[in-house]
Amino acid sequence: MSSPSSSPETAPSTWHGTTILTVRKGGKVVVAGDGQVSLGQTIIKGTAKKVRRVGAGPVIAGFAGSTADAFTLFERLETKLERFPDQLKRACVELAKDWRTDRYLRRLEAMMIVADPNESLVLTGTGDVLEPDDAVMGIGSGGMYALAAAKALLDSDLDAEQIARKAMAIAAQICVYTNDSLTVETLDTTAS
């Protein structure tokens, strides 16, 4: 997998792909991710788990980028959440500061979507912590396909998980670096 700026034509021996999507609707927030890991034009693994719960509280994170880099970011985010419990945005801003200024972290090639019952955020290696304008966000090579599909489905009768699954299936039909082996995590937003 690679950063969004890499392309298979320019870096054939780097990791590529992934699709991570978050949807908020009807008292639920869902983060879904595909399982494909590619190296150049070869599928290395089809069932990678790129979405997981982080820390002791109700936080879900999904990553697009290098797997080793993502594990480093998961650990750093968990540390920040321990320091700032129940303050997802603050923990993410602190992680983004470190990511941008720490010499080791600056070399990491990944993006993350994180969500708790109250907010969804995208973290990037350039120090950005972004909030969506609406109830959906997508990252990774198939992220824009899944995002467009989810936006189109928001007004339907489908719930958040159904929208996420359908949007991810659409992305998998379009993006060669995305498959239909999904990891889906859900949080109830009405309990907070």
pLDDT tens digits for 97-107? 887 776 656 56
Residue 71 bridge partners (DSSP): none
Contact 53, 33 (CB under 8 A): no
Query: In this predicted structure, which of 85-89, 94-98, 117-121 has the lowest mean pLDDT?
Result: 94-98
Residue 21 bridge partners (DSSP): 32, 138
- pLDDT the model gives residue 1: 39
Query: In this predicted structure, which of 16-25, 66-75, 135-144 has the lowest mean pLDDT?
Result: 66-75
pLDDT tens digits for 128-178? 899 988 899 999 999 999 999 999 999 999 999 999 999 999 999 999 999
The pTM for the full model equals: 0.86
Q: Note the Cα 138 to chain centre separation in Å.
A: 7
* Intra-chain end-to-end CA distance of the chain, in Å: 35
Upper half-sphere CA count for residue 100 (Cβ side, 13 Å): 12
Query: In this predicted structure, which of 1-10, 140-149, 174-183 has the lowest mean pLDDT?
Result: 1-10
The rounded percent of the chain whose pLDDT value lies above 90 is: 59
How does the average pLDDT of the chain come out, rounded?
A: 85
Find where tokens 């309990």 sit.
191
Kindly list the structural domains of the chain, giving each domain's residue range(s) and its CATH number in brackets, ordered by start.
15-178 (3.60.20.10)
Question: Which residue numbers are catalytic?
Answer: 18
